[in-house]
Amino acid sequence: MAANASAVPKRSRRIVIVGIPGVGKTTVVSKVLDILRSKGKNANVVNYGTVMLEQASKIHNLKSRDEMRKLSIEAQRELQVHAATAISRMDDEIVIVDTHLFISTKEGFWPGIPMNVLQALKPTNLIMVTATPEEILNRRKSDQTRIRDEATEESLQRELGAANSLLFASTVITGCPALVAVNSEGHIEQTAETIVNAIASS
Ligand code: ATP
Ligand code: AMP
Ligand code: MG
């Protein structure tokens, strides 16, 4: 039987953007969305932490999104699974998920995208935003909108190392490509263009 072209679903893209706190994910992703929409793409961005916070606020007494990583791992895991389910239902042509490969908790680095979350999100692309430890440290210090964890260039180097390992481990599980997008100081637009070129070529 001949396939009905109109019945063939559009190939949807699920882009998971990761990177250590303060590297510039949310800033860059907002620019990526502007560019994609200006090209007429049906794209949407979801911030994983925001979805978790909507649910967390119903259950826990939180003053800010930065308090979620202080909750017990069990409580965070429940919120994480809840968010994965909600995000997996998004059906835009391009869905961009702004999230983390790991969360710094008092018990240590805890995976932001464990196997069950990867399976729910089904990423077609993994993109890690990165910068130098010095740049990230300065961005964390100058960003008054957030309550950032204490850090040094050495501790950021360890975070970047952990992120790198988890990024490539995730590609082995998903079979999707991983792009490392360098978000150099003052070059938000250029970083966003690099990401758009990787995901919106077709
Ligand atoms: P988090 O994981 O904590 O949400 P993030 O990775 O989303 O952090 P942003 O909140 O986007 O980081 O950016 C942190 C700060 O760095 C902001 O003040 C932002 O304006 C600034 N910033 C982002 N990218 C750049 C850049 N290329 N050059 C200079 N400043 C930047
Ligand atoms: P963000 O604004 O991206 O820093 O997210 C705010 C908070 O949401 C983070 O500090 C974490 O507590 C939580 N969060 C975001 N993504 C995840 C994830 N994939 N798994 C668990 N917690 C997450
Ligand atoms: Mg952010």
Note the pLDDT tens digit of each residue in 145-179: 999 999 999 999 999 999 999 999 999 999 999 99
| CA separation for the pair 202, 200 (Å, rounded) | 6
- Residue 40 Cβ inside 6 Å of ligand 1? The answer reads no
List phi, psi (to 5°) of 105.
-115, 170
How many Å lie between the centroid of ligand 3 and the Cα of residue 9? 31
Say if CB 14 and CB 97 are below 8 A apart. Answer: yes
pLDDT at 5 over 80: no
- Which residue's entry shows tokens 């077709």? 202
pLDDT at 133 over 70: yes
Q: Which of 64, 100, 139 to mutate to test the pocket of ligand 1 (most atoms within 8 A of CB)?
A: 139
Find the ligand nearest to 78 CA: 2
Convert the pLDDT of each residue in 50-105 to its tens digit.
Answer: 999 999 999 999 999 999 999 999 999 999 999 999 999 999 999 999 999 999 99
Which CATH architecture fits 12-46+93-201? 3-Layer(aba) Sandwich (3.40)
How many Å lie between the centroid of ligand 2 and the Cα of residue 103? 7
Q: Which residues of 35-59 are buried (b: 16+ CB within 10 A; e: fewer)?
A: bbeeeebebbbbbbbebbbeebeee
Query: Which residue's CA is the closest to the ligand 2 atom numbered 13?
Result: 49
Specify the pairing of strand 102-105 against strand 108-111. Answer: antiparallel
Query: Which residue's CA is the closest to the ligand 1 atom numbered 23?
Result: 24
H or E element at residue 197: helix 188-199
pLDDT for res 12: 85
Long-range own/partner contacts, residues 196-200 (CB < 8 A, 24 or more apart): 196/32, 196/35, 196/36, 196/39, 198/125, 198/127, 199/13, 199/15, 199/94, 199/125, 199/127, 200/36, 200/39, 200/41, 200/94
Query: Which residue's CA is the closest to the ligand 2 atom numbered 9?
Result: 49
| CA separation for the pair 2, 152 (Å, rounded) | 61
